[in-house]
Amino acid sequence: MEIILSKDHLAHFPAGEIYDGKLVRPFECPERWDYIVNTLNDEGFLNQSKPSDLDVKKLFAVHEKKYVDFLKTCWDQWISSGYTGEAIPTIFPVRGFHQDRIPDDIDGKLGYYALAAETSITAGTWQAAQAAAAIAQTSQQRISNGASEIFALCRPPGHHASYDQFGGYCFINNAAVAAQHMRDRGLERIAVLDVDFHHGNGTQAIFYNRSDVLFLSLHGDPMAAFPHFLGHKDEIGIGDGEGFNFNFPMPAGTSFSEWSNALDSAVHQISKFGAEAVIVSLGVDTFERDPISFFKLKSDDFIKMGECIASLDLPTLFVMEGGYAVEEIGINTVNVLTGFEDAKV
């Protein structure tokens, strides 16, 4: 399996996020990448390549141009306004406020384009975000050119980023970028399977009215877990997309036996859909010791996850999402890839 990765992720290294009523060191940090790469190397996944340059214009099929321009220029606007800390949103267009007017002031712009206050923008955020998107673009090109499996080691992650919003550590929706490029290159039906602990609200929103991209998400019940306001079972798509969105919310303490039943159901829906390729939003924060999640999957369970995904017998692009800085993030990520590869032999 080829791995597409870039050290440009190091440019994004915020010093703090708001958690537990305190400013803490972010859970989404560069060590996540290090743990994964070290385990990839230890286990012989040595076919590693850098991405091609990003075609920024192709982002506009899944992200508003004004939003992408905001990400490019946010830090410069922040600094030119006299601020010295990280760019953190503090006010939002909530109920009763205008949601159709973008403020000129950078404080207002941050709130307009943000979905939450835990994600900050720094001097290197755009560099890292565009590198992650380039990884997704390059990886889908490999699949479109005939590769059967690719791992896109994206950091920062992407599945919480919607058409015009960042948050949940995400800026560009890497899985959506890849799915749209596959469509542009001639594939008719793409499935996006999100196995991250947190609901992929951004990916759902981008494809919610479309029937050519099937979205399925297995995640913590939003009544108790971020992002709280999307991810319910009754969200099935609208318009042409009705019936092409499947959510599998699950409660605290969910074990692999319960979780795998949902995965089996998702795999059945992908087969029924007739997908020509599957993109796996690979979050491993379902792990029992992940610091900001509440499922109970063990490291060996991730091997079985990979085996089940392999049963689809489809070209498969794994796109890295969440799973936070515990050493097992590397073990669990590589276990998915190993289970997948071994099942394909």
CA angle, 16 as apex, 14 and 19 as ends, to 5°?
135
Q: Choose among 286, 289, 280: nearest CA to 320.
A: 280
- Going from the C-alpha of 308 to that of each of 66, 258, 264, 295, 305, the distances in angstroms are 40, 14, 8, 19, 5
10 Å Cβ neighbour count for 302?
27
Buried b (16+ CB within 10 A) or exposed e, 229-258: ebbeeebebeeebeebbbbbbbeeebebee
Q: Are 318 and 24 in contact (CB under 8 A)?
A: no
Q: Residue 143 class from Cβ within 10 Å (0-12 exposed, 13-18 middle, 19+ buried)?
A: buried
CB-side neighbour CA atoms (13 Å) of 190: 27
Distance CA 40, CA 139 (A): 17
Select which of 9, 63, 160, 181 is catalytic.
160
What letter does residue 168 receive in the DSSP assignment?
A: T
Alpha carbon 275 to its chain's center: 20
Please confirm, yes or no, whether 160 is among the known catalytic residues. yes
Q: Are 213 and 277 in contact (CB under 8 A)?
A: no
Catalytic positions are: 160
